[in-house]
Amino acid sequence: MTFRINHFLITGLLYLFFSSSVFGQAEQEEKPTILSSEAPTLRFEHIGLQEGMNQASANTIMQDSKGFLWIATQGGLHRYDGHEFKVYKQTPFDTASISESWVWGMAEASNGDIWVATEAAGLNRLDQATGKFTKYFHDPEDSTSISSNSAFMPFEDSRGNLWVGTFGSGLNKMPAGKDGTFIRYAHDHDDPTTIASSTVFWISEDQEGFIWAGGTNGISRINIDTEEITRFLHNPDGREFYGAPHNILGQYISPTKPGALWLATGNGLVYLDSKTGDFERYLIEPNDGENINPRNFIHEIVPDPDNPNILWVGGPGTGIARFDRLTQEFTSYRNNPRDPNSLSDNFVSSLFADRSGTIWAGTATKGLQAFNPGAVNFTHLKNDPDDDQTISPGIVWGVYEDKKGTLWAGTDIGASGDILTEFDINSGNTSRYTFDPDDSTSIIFGSIRVFHEGNNGNFWIGTSGGLNLFNRTTKKSTRFRHPPVDGNQGRNSLFAILPTAADQDMLWIGSIGGLDRFNSKTGEFEHIKLPKEELNTEFGPAVLSLHQDQDSILWAGTTLGLLRITPDGNATIASTYNPTDTSTINHNQIASITQLENEPDILWLATSAGGLNRFDINTKTAKHYTEKDGLPNNALYGLLVDSKNTLWMSSNNGISNFDPATETFRNYGLDDGLMALEYSQNGYFKGSNGVMYFGSGEGITAFVPEQLHVNEIPPQVVLSDFKIFNESVIPGPNSPLKKSLSETKKITLPYSQNEVTFDYVALHFANPAGNTYSYQLINFDESWVDAGNKRSATYTNLPEGTYTFHVKAANADGIWNNEGASIDLTILPPWYRTWWAYGLGLGMLGFMAFGVDRLQRSRISKKELERQTLREAELRFLSRVQFLR
């Protein structure tokens, strides 16, 4: 049975097929990119209450100069670092807290403060150094106060003026250097020199220095120098703008054409040339007469970070739509209840593109949604139970691209009996083939694991139930099975098919029952004797993978190690795992074998639990690469080689690339766009144009390695927390931190507080979990410490002295910010080693010496007095004696 294949799947595969062909023509040609007419399949990351948001609305999103994301919600102002939220919300009786938790918008001031507009409590300014808010309220008695407490989006222009829109009370400007003094711009319907609307939703500045403000009736252009205001309205009465509803909710100013604006309206996307007054409206879906389709209600516009011809829009009923300016076509992305990676809420209230290339969507009830359109590296073929045009259901155990460019996928038998899917990339047709127990010409029952195309274009298909010859013309199969040999029942459960070097009509067949040589002309099997006695097994090992080198030597990956088979069928043991000999392979079950063109004497082995092994044919020794070396998982399956002689492998935790020259891994997971983490044994193939295919329980992942997007933007790095004895230090007048950590350059601590922890984070949101770090405490660490994904460093019992803590970070693609972040730390000496302690000690010694001296002198004086008294007594005695005489 034949169907039309899903349009997006064909588009993706055509792109991979043809662009990879172009890429290989000449190295000097520009690297192909996705054609502008091709809409990528997006994977949305969902960040909401479970991830730490205080409330699930996201009215506005922005990124500050440090790299933090800020989100305005109904539950407070949120700051996000890719891992954790810091929430600023109103605290009763705390005059330094925000005036209200319902926040509409925010903007960063040139000095780093954050301006915050609230629903009904005026304007706030957050001092990031202290964490305290200053409030600006409407005062009916003061015409220089803000015109309303219901504020929308603040904006600081290039001259330092602050502009604030309000609900129903016009526009406000706080001139630079005049804190708290506002100039009001009101709307008067009958005065064309006033702004177009009383309610102002957004404000921006173009490259000519004009201020633009959009609202309920249209848009206004303000000349800052002359204060001249120009309205842009569709109808002369000013009550409609490009069709009702007339709200102008968002805008994007062209950076290349002065006066050109793209506007988000309640009735589609509008392009306005303000120089000529010409406009053009683009609808996501047609309206029904005067009834506007709710999907045409657009809130926000952001340009694609990589492609200037693409705009992304969102709205309350729109979801997210991608507008191609070249084709003038929209592609919609909406919630799909069956797809957990789809947009989770079709009410999109805000859009923002950060500096890493990630686009953020704020929703009404599901928090944040994030996607990176430039990092859509992978095309996915997966089953949709409601669409017969998709791949057969079940695990994809076998993948093959034939000489005509047709893709074949072998799966488990589904409920309908489907077991094989054929994708004709050129015609756009797909066909499914089933196992029919009543039809001997259908494919043998069992999972399809391996394919081999014969010289006549027909296919040899290996299943868990036997060997099939599939006729491309008749779509019928001829089955080949053989009876058990020596009690071994597994020779019909196939894993590998490979033609012999001497004769293409002779096939090597690897199975649970071992190795056979099959004559495709006669249909006869020759069983190859394997060294089962040496391997201490009754039936011999199962053969899982086969590889033939340039010397026509066959290498067999088995469940009991690596075997070497000569062309005449003589099999010997090449290597088996020996726990006492590290030069052997580190695991016996070998799922895949390959070689690099520049290493004819080296075999690369993907093992089922030992990671990647490099086996030297000459020395018969192996080198091992496992999780400790950077693999995400030691269970490997498929092993393919790209045009740069690097290795690609599937595993139980995504797909990895290994560069033998640098011995480094780059791992790809769900955050990189994969639809699955656990891939299948045998489900891998490299097409003639360099397209790589990996099968899983979710379908097929296809990509061209040379065209995988590398995010060249290094991360910004900040210190996020400082702890003493594992307790966070809160800034304050009596704290070691007088200001916030990010605003602090030096910390001084007494010796009694010499156990410290530095927390840090890379503010790169394309794949935050993939960011890596390295740090050094200068004057303590002898070299840089590779921290991997760890985001903290602890030091205990630091000696007295002066140090500098320095941390640098790389994004998930290994692009480093070597400047990083740093802070000075001084540990004071213990009290007994301070100058005053030394002074006190010297004083005490002097006092003691003085005391001893005084005591000694006192003793001497006392003795002298005693001697003198004695002499005087003697004299008196002698005088008396003489008198008596």
Q: Where are the beta strands (DSSP E) in 736-814?
A: 746-749, 756-763, 772-778, 785-788, 792-795, 801-810
Check residue 416 and give its pLDDT. Answer: 66
Place of tokens 């005695």: 877
Tell me how far apart the alpha carbons of residues 299 and 331 are, in angstroms, rounded to a whole number. Answer: 17
In whole angstroms, how large is the CA radius of gyration of the chain? 38
Q: How far apart are CA 43 and CA 341, in angstroms?
A: 5
Q: What is the pLDDT of residue 25?
A: 36
* Contact residues for 593 (Cβ-Cβ < 8 A; gap 6+): 545, 546, 547, 555, 557, 562, 603, 604, 605, 606, 639
97 and 90 Cβ atoms separated by less than 8 Å: yes
Three-state secondary structure call for residue 96: coil
Regions of the chain where pLDDT drops below 70: 1-40, 234-249, 376, 414-416, 428, 483-490, 538-539, 834-838, 840-841, 846-847, 849-851, 853, 874, 876-885
Q: Which pair of tokens denotes residue 804?
A: 């500098």
Measuring CA to CA, which residue among 567, 538, 571 is closest to residue 557? Answer: 571
Cα–Cα distance for residue pair 444/433, rounded to 1 Å: 11
- CA-to-CA dists, residue 664 to 609, 636, 655, angstroms: 19, 16, 14
Name the pTM for this structure: 0.83
- Spatial separation of the C-alpha atoms in residues 222 and 229, rounded to whole Å: 5
Amino acid type, 732: G
User: What pLDDT digit, counting tens, does each position of 595-643 carry?
Assistant: 999 999 999 999 999 999 999 999 999 999 999 999 999 999 999 999 9
Give the pLDDT score at 856. Answer: 75
What is the reported pLDDT for 749?
Answer: 97
Phi, psi of 224 (to 5 degrees): -65, -35
Q: What is the pLDDT of residue 276?
A: 87
User: Fold for domain 716-833?
Assistant: Immunoglobulin-like (2.60.40)
The pLDDT of residue 515: 94
b/e sequence 399-415, b meaning 16+ C-beta within 10 Å: bbbbeebbbbbbbbbbe
**Residue 821, phi-psi category: left (phi > 0), alpha (psi -120 to 50), beta (remainder):** beta
Is-contact 490 544, C-beta < 8 A?
no
Residues β-bridged to residue 202: 214
3-state secondary structure of 28: coil
Distance CA 655, CA 222 (A): 53
CA neighbor of 496 nearest in space, from 380, 594, 584: 594
